Amino acid sequence: MTVFDSQFAKRLHDESVPVIIAEIGQNHDGSLGMAHAYIDVLADAGVDAIKFQTHIASDESTLDEEFRVKFSYQDKTRFDYWKRMEFTESQWLELKNHSHARGVEFLSTPFSIAAVNLLSRVGVGAWKIGSGDTKSNNMLDLMVATNKPVIISSGMSSWKELDKIVKEFSNTDLNYYLMQCTSKYPTPLSEVGLNVLQDIKNRYGCRVGLSDHSGSTSPAIAAIARGFSLIEVHATFDKRMFGPDVNASLTIDDIEHVVQFAANLRFMDNNPVNKDDMAKSLSKQKKLFDRSLALIKDLPSGHVLSENDLTLKKPGGGLSWSDRTKLINRPLSRDKSMNRILKIEDVS
């Protein structure tokens, strides 16, 4: 494991540190140049990791797959689309090196044994198991053998299935992390399942995060606010672009907002406020905004004050409302303007 990967592994394991993963998925639309462009803008947005998907069409599916239908103007079938999404091993290495050069971790979800082997050679900071592969034991065994952290999506898993995979990983020395997600693209807000985050935490005790496909910033921000700051969101340059992931994605500006929220929340949590100390530090301002006894109108010397003559006006530092008994039924010792606060020497 490289020093870069080791640092990312520490961030993953420290629940006090937000980890924001931007999922590019297929939004590069098979363009290597577009993939590199995503790395630059997402690094500028402040994410911690950039994640791709490694598809090798011939190793991933058979002719019986129902998705092998016409998919776009450019692709005769979805198989052709997956072929167009493929990069060579050297191109994947370029993407990894570019990510590291920009200070972000490189991740990619493998969808076949061939993809696992390719990514093992390229190198990833952690493994990401897609929701559809939690029972792909041959792939999982290969990942475990690399001794790298594993992030597991639970979008299609029942509790029984999650129990099984957690038991398997608990028998290893690997650090593993569970992501609540719903495998719908986009996911309706009513089906995001924020409540499940705490359920997973209570059940397994590991770090829990949210892999969101809603296309809205609300789930990620809500999860972070609840203390679940391991976040994965899909990224797109524009919601009008082509691709199966676009509607489930956030724009770059959206992701920057999520990153900033996570950073701001952590900063505030790390700087707790002592209420009494804060009040003391604001004593000058408090005097400015506080109020003192004053007259409701100009009154002449000798006027015997009643409560109806009194009001409170800024600034503070003078007589308080509770001090009014010191003035009531006593005559003014001088002419007194309504534009000056009252003092005890104003009465005789």
- Please give the Cα distance from 2 to 98 (Å, whole number): 15
Architecture of domain 3-269: Alpha-Beta Barrel (3.20)
What is the second-level CATH architecture of the domain 276-346?
A: Alpha-Beta Complex (3.90)
Q: Are strands 127-129 and 150-153 parallel, antiparallel or unpaired?
A: parallel
Tokens found for residue 91: 């191109």
CB contact at 8 A, 175 and 146? no
What separation, in Å, do the N-terminal and C-terminal C-alpha atoms of the chain show? 85
* Residue 126 burial (C-beta neighbours within 10 Å; 0-12, 13-18, 19+): buried
Contact status, residue 295 vs residue 338, Cβ threshold 8 Å: yes
Domain with CATH 3.20.20.70 in the chain: 3-269
Decide if 18 contacts 229 (C-beta within 8 A): yes
| Range(s) within the chain of domains with CATH label 3.90.1210.10 | 276-346
> Would the CA dihedral through 121, 122, 126, 128 be positive or negative?
negative
pTM of the model: 0.89
From first to last of its 348 residues, what are the pLDDT tens digits of the chain? 677 788 999 999 999 999 999 999 999 999 999 999 999 999 999 999 999 999 998 898 877 777 656 768 888 888 888 899 999 999 999 999 999 999 999 999 999 999 999 999 999 999 999 998 888 788 999 999 999 999 999 999 999 999 999 999 999 999 999 999 999 999 999 999 999 999 999 999 999 999 999 999 999 999 999 999 999 999 999 999 998 889 999 999 999 999 999 999 999 999 999 999 999 999 999 989 999 999 999 999 999 999 999 999 999 999 999 999 999 999 999 999 999 999 999 999
CA angle 59, 64, 69 (to 5 degrees): 95
